[in-house]
Structure 1
Amino acid sequence: MRNIYLCGLGALGTIYAKALAPFGLRVVADAARAARYRAEGVRVNGEEVALSYLTPGENAPPADLVIVAVKWQNLPEAIESLRPFVGPETVILSLMNGIESEIVLGRAFGMEKLLYAFVVEVDAVRQGQEVRYSKAGTIVFGEARNETISPRVAAVKELFTKGGIACRVPQDMLRELWWKFMLNVGVNQLSAVLRMSYGAFAGETLRGLVREACGEVVSIAQAKGIGLTGADVEAIFPILARLAPEQKTSMLQDVEAGRQTENGMLGESVLAMGQELGIPTPVNEMLVRLVKVLDEKL
């Protein structure tokens, strides 16, 4: 893959932009953002990262791979920025939280272009143009099912391996995607409302709240034919324990930075699906209301 375009220089986007810059990655950004990045620089763990930028008005070949790493509320703008660079053979990979970004991108560009993806075990924090992390995480990605590896999945995996990016291709990608969605619903909302870093999730009371919030996602997933169980909820806690205890979820980082949260694609999505399926979601209803209080303060 030669033409690699990335949209979104948040914590995740910056980490993977650095890894793939030697292989020709270009960051898609509007002229004002690109100028700011060039003027202020981009740093990862104190190291300046040299990146190439591409604005929507420039001529460039269609992308072989597009990586989308923007916030939920910025996805419509990102789609329009990327539109000139998406061709018939472009593969699109979203690293965004939730289970809806692939659907939105599929409506814009065609579901046949999408691979499913998420990142797990990353503890990156962004402050200004500086990103710091102790764990860069693993990209879990693939077709909806991967009993055999498709050529495009193999090509993306080869690229990630060259860039030193840890990655994994599971057999049942949709189940894995729902598992990460469940983790984000249970952990991100609570971390934002309680202003708690990862270390706080060692406490049994907080873990009990995570179990309750995630349990509602399990019920919805099972109603949709996704085989999540209580054991999948328990699998969250060893992962949190391996992250730097002082580091914070992306939602808590948004709250502390005075940015709108992404809860529309997390807790609010749970409420909508619960209402549609007739499944009660009282814990997430309360969490959504509390997060809205934080958003309304901005």
Structure 2
Amino acid sequence: MIQKTAIIGMGALGLLYADIIASAKGPAGVSFVMDRERLEKYRGMVFDCNGQKKTFPMECCEDASPADLVIVAVKYNGLAAALDTMKNCVGKDTVILSVMNGISSEKIIGERYGHGRLIDTVAQGMDAMKFGSRLTYTKRGELRIGAEDESQEANLRLVAAYFDEIGMPYTVEKDILHRLWGKFMLNVGVNQTCMAYETNYGGALAEGSGANRTMLAAMREVIALANAEGIRLSEQDLDEYVDILKTLSPEGMPSMRQDAVSKRPTEVEMFAGTVIPMAGAHGIPVPANVFLYETIKKMEQAYT
């Protein structure tokens, strides 16, 4: 039974899930775990979660004890540090979920803490945005969870029961790798496009625009790559994810565009930076991703 959850990362998703858990289990049910420097900075901070003032328990990673569940909700460039931050939270029976974008975080975490304790997870359908201490969203989306093999099945059932208890929106996927690649396809398209074109969901969806053409081209390049990797993505998957985008606030923006607005390093290496070398190994041309990578790198250099 899951009673105590530790969250690593206090961005939009970290706050969103902390709010859901605390609302169901009380403040003892969840805590943010961080290094001492961050704890001194954020301790006692009052967050605005969709208009409601909230505070959450926080603890130093050096003083943390094993949790039943650890949710990793950091950006790609913070994952290496997060693996050290969470070490005292991981006990013999701890389950780990990564709600990070991309297709590599589970593998990286599994190499450190063991593949069997992971549950593959895709966070989708939310339009959460966080600037400073303010979290806003019109859709909180859902988590898609699944097991790659039998070693994860028991923990999958445990997490599903916990999500039922706390009212976490979720779906169990029979083919979680297909879902991981589908979400990756979406992120490669919309996250990078919104940053490169300095636009929002509405701009990326404007039919016939340069942003829309680039987004769809980048997504189709991921379809070709996934097929080469043995994952059967198709145009039907692309249409499904574009339909999800259409349910979000047109004024909303994905995490990469939020990073650019706040002048933070982005996750471009996890998106085009992953697609380009993998596609090269298969001899697949990916001009849209090359364009996005080069454009975003120049933008980052201009503000960092």
Alignment TM-score > 0.5, same fold: yes
Q: Matched residues in 2 for 1:158 and 1:226: separation?
A: 29
Is 1:232 the counterpart of 2:228? The answer is no
Q: Is the 8 A contact 2:123 2:142 kept in 1?
A: yes
User: In the TM superposition, what are the counterparts of 1:82-101 in structure 2 within 5 Å?
Assistant: 82-101=86-105
* C-alpha distance after superposition, 1:18-54 (max 9, x if no partner): 1112531111111222233224322211212231112
Counterpart residue number, 1:209: 214
Q: Is the 8 A contact 1:251 1:261 kept in 2?
A: yes
Structure 1 residue corresponding to 2:171, chosen from 168, 171, 190: 168
Counterpart residue number, 2:39: 34
User: In the TM superposition, what are the counterparts of 1:16-55 in structure 2 within 5 Å?
Assistant: 16-21=17-22, 22-23=24-25, 24-55=29-60
Counterpart residue number, 1:266: 271
Equivalent position SS for 1:245: coil
* C-alpha distance after superposition, 1:127-169 (max 9, x if no partner): 10111111111111121269xx933212212222322221111
Is 1:184 the counterpart of 2:187? The answer is yes
Counterpart residue number, 2:250: 245
Q: Is the 8 A contact 1:123 1:244 kept in 2?
A: yes
Counterpart residue number, 1:80: 84
Which residue type is aligned with residue 271 of structure 1?
Answer: I
State the TM-score, normalizing by the size of structure 1: 0.95
Counterpart residue number, 1:8: 9
Q: Matched residues in 2 for 1:202 and 1:85: separation?
A: 41
Which residue type is aligned with residue 8 of structure 2?
Answer: C
Q: Matched residues in 1 for 2:239 and 2:173: separation?
A: 19
Q: Is the 8 A contact 2:44 2:55 kept in 1?
A: no
Q: Matched residues in 1 for 2:31 and 2:228: separation?
A: 41
Which residue type is aligned with residue 95 of structure 1?
Answer: V
Q: Is the 8 A contact 1:201 1:237 kept in 2?
A: no
Q: Matched residues in 2 for 1:43 and 1:108: separation?
A: 35
Structure 2 residue corresponding to 1:281, chosen from 258, 270, 286: 286
Structure 2 residue corresponding to 1:107, chosen from 80, 105, 111: 111
Q: Is the 8 A contact 1:201 1:240 kept in 2?
A: no
Which residue type is aligned with residue 166 of structure 2?
Answer: G
Counterpart residue number, 1:195: 198
Counterpart residue number, 1:116: 120
Q: Is the 8 A contact 1:145 1:172 kept in 2?
A: no
Q: Matched residues in 1 for 2:171 and 2:228: separation?
A: 27
Q: Percent identity?
A: 35
Q: Is the 8 A contact 1:145 1:173 kept in 2?
A: no
Name structure 1 gaps, 5 residues minimum.
none
User: In the TM superposition, what are the counterparts of 1:108-147 in structure 2 within 5 Å?
Assistant: 108-144=112-148
Q: CA RMSD in A?
A: 1.7
| Distance apart, 1:59 and its partner CA | 4.8
The size of the alignment, in residue pairs, is: 296
Q: Is the 8 A contact 2:186 2:219 kept in 1?
A: yes
Tell me: CA distance 1:72–1:33, structure 2 relative to 1, closer, same or farther (3 Å): same
The runs of at least 4 consecutive aligned structure 1 residues that moved more than 4 Å come to none
State the TM-score, normalizing by the size of structure 2: 0.93
Name structure 2 gaps, 5 residues minimum.
none
* C-alpha distance after superposition, 1:35-86 (max 9, x if no partner): 33224322211212231112122152x2211100001111111110101221
Which residue type is aligned with residue 5 of structure 2?
Answer: I
